[in-house]
Amino acid sequence: MPNVLLTNEQGVQEVFAVPPSAHSRFPSVWSGGTGSASGQYSVPDPPKRARPTKIGTFMRSAYLVGQLGTCDRARVGVSLVHVDHIVAQGYNGAISGEAHCDDVGHDIQNNHCVRAAHAEANAIAFAAKQGIQLLGCTAYITIYPCWTCTKLLFAAGIRRIVYGERYAVDERVEDLASRGRISIEKWLEPR
Ligand SMILES: [Zn+2]
Ligand SMILES: [Zn+2]
């Protein structure tokens, strides 16, 4: 039973024994800390925070911006990242100021909606408009890219692609990757 030294009204120091029940009000402080075994009371170690991964953060940013898409055949988003910073984003939709598929329906040709510009094309066009260099960026895309967008990304200097869903895989994209011209990988973390 630990002792506590107190000074009474007459200035005389007295030793009091503290019953164990007095500690139970502060169990995490008085009985849990790293110093309790040696008699030195301390606060317990704080719980460790699980920091999100960078790849997960950039992928989730692509999913988030993809929610702005205006063609419900595919709500696709992309984040273009340079040295851990998002430098451009894009989502699938009609060009600025034109009617949205969600409002007036799709414009289908050869089983594709041609009203909407693809997310990757919109991100690259935004970068061109703003004078943002994309050389060496990584593209985080919510779905596997089509061949046209892969060519645009490649032409802009992007050689690494991370995608979320394996959708409409194009053998020309696979071939480019198999010959080491680009790196393409699936994001494997839980959503
Ligand atoms: Zn559409
Ligand atoms: Zn595309």
Tell me the average confidence (pLDDT) per consecutive run of 10 residues in the chain, 191 residues long: 60 60 48 52 83 96 97 95 98 95 94 94 98 98 97 98 94 98 96 80
Distance 73 CA to ligand 1 centre (A): 6
> How far is residue 36's CA from residue 43's CA, in Å, rounded to a whole number?
9
Question: Given this model, what pLDDT does residue 28 score?
Answer: 45
Tokens of 141: 């895309």
**Which ligand lies nearest to the CA atom of residue 149 in the structure?**
2
- 19-50 residues labelled b (16+ CB within 10 A) or e (exposed): eeeebeeeeeebeeeeeeeeeeeeeeeeeeee
Distance 122 CA to ligand 2 centre (A): 10
Whether the Cβ atoms of residue 31 and residue 23 lie closer than 8 Å to each other: yes
**Residues, beta carbon < 5 Å, ion ligand 1:** 71, 101, 106, 113, 115-116
Return the closest-CA partner of residue 187 out of 132, 139, 137. Answer: 139
Question: Given this model, what pLDDT does residue 39 score?
Answer: 58
Distance 109 CA to ligand 1 centre (A): 11
Question: Given this model, what pLDDT does residue 43 score?
Answer: 83
> How far is residue 150's CA from residue 161's CA, in Å, rounded to a whole number?
9
> How far is residue 127's CA from residue 153's CA, in Å, rounded to a whole number?
12
Distance 137 CA to ligand 2 centre (A): 17
